[in-house]
Amino acid sequence: GNSVTQMEGPVTLSEEAFLTINCTYTATGYPSLFWYVQYPGEGLQLLLKATKADDKGSNKGFEATYRKETTSFHLEKGSVQVSDSAVYFCALSGTGANNLFFGTGTRLTVIP
Amino acid sequence: SAVISQKPSRDICQRGTSLTIQCQVDSQVTMMFWYRQQPGQSLTLIATANQGSEATYESGFVIDKFPISRPNLTFSTLTVSNMSPEDSSIYLCSVEPYSTDTQYFGPGTRLTVL
């Protein structure tokens, strides 16, 4: 079946630090992979996505590369800001399916 | 992408009552989804609502508890029936615009049941 395993949080970083949030997945076929972000008090926003192996999704300085060999889609940012404080969700959409399977979410807090 | 609105944004309800949540999207979409996010947890799909057919419910969710309407391609409602404190959650709708393979989420409805 389909599942997503996401790095446990919470994660606290100083401003301008490097961020990695690990995400691995189990899926049949060729899933699409997503990172969503949920800022305090708000709904989910799509951050980035990748639809096939070796694709790199990027947005707002965040990047993630679809690694089929390691079944991973780790989220990275070179220099975080206080405004990046949020909960980050890794998700996958299975082949031919519309259901999104979410990881448990990782809460990031960036301190000045 | 799509612009999605939900009403109400939050509500506090009494045990045993029902609440209907509305989801409106700014363009016609075939696929609409309803999710629940319990406090401190991830999202769980409740059901898929396609226009012109009955909603498809995920395991653990039933129509009597969460009836859904989908009268047209831009609107859907989810009712949380006979509420208990365990129903306190954020309820989110999402849509998947044609040929995008991507779901876009509404801002959510924060429900507290006393």
Q: What pLDDT, on the 0 to 100 scale, is given for residue A30?
A: 83
**What confidence tier does A28 reach under pLDDT thresholds 50, 70, 90?**
confident
Q: In the structure, how many helices (H) and strands (E) does chain A have?
A: 0, 12
- Higher per-residue confidence, A22 vs B52: A22
Contact (Cβ atoms closer than 8 angstroms) between residue B113 and residue B13: yes
pLDDT at residue number A95: 63
User: Phi/psi class of residue B11: alpha, beta or left (left: φ > 0; alpha: ψ in -120 to 50)?
Assistant: beta
Instruction: Please state, in angstroms and rounded to a whole number, the distance separating the CA atoms of residues B58 and B39.
Output: 20
Chain A residues within an 8 Å CB radius of B104: 46
The tens-digit pLDDT sequence of chain B (114 residues) is: 788 999 999 999 999 999 999 999 999 998 899 999 998 888 999 999 988 888 999 999 999 999 999 999 999 999 999 999 999 999 999 998 887 778 899 999 999 999
Report the C-alpha gap between B102 and A11 in whole angstroms.
27
Distance from the first to the final alpha carbon of chain A: 41
Tell me the nearest-neighbour CA distance from B43 into chain A, angstroms.
6
Q: Do the Cβ atoms of B48 and A36 come within 8 Å?
A: no
Residues of A in contact with B6 (CB under 8 A): 43
Residue A77 has pLDDT above 90, yes or no: yes
A51 contacts on B by Cβ (under 8 Å):
101
- pLDDT surpassing 70 at residue A96: no
The tokens of B100 are what?
């995008």
* Residue B25 burial by Cβ neighbours in a 10 Å radius (0-12, 13-18, 19+): buried
pLDDT category at A1 given cuts 50, 70, 90 is confident
pLDDT score at A37: 96
- Mutation to test the B interface, candidates A25, A33, A44, A51, most B Cβ within 10 Å: A44
Check residue B98 and give its pLDDT. 80
In the prediction, which pLDDT does A97 show?
58
pLDDT of residue B2: 84
The whole-angstrom separation of Cα B114 and Cα A104 is: 26
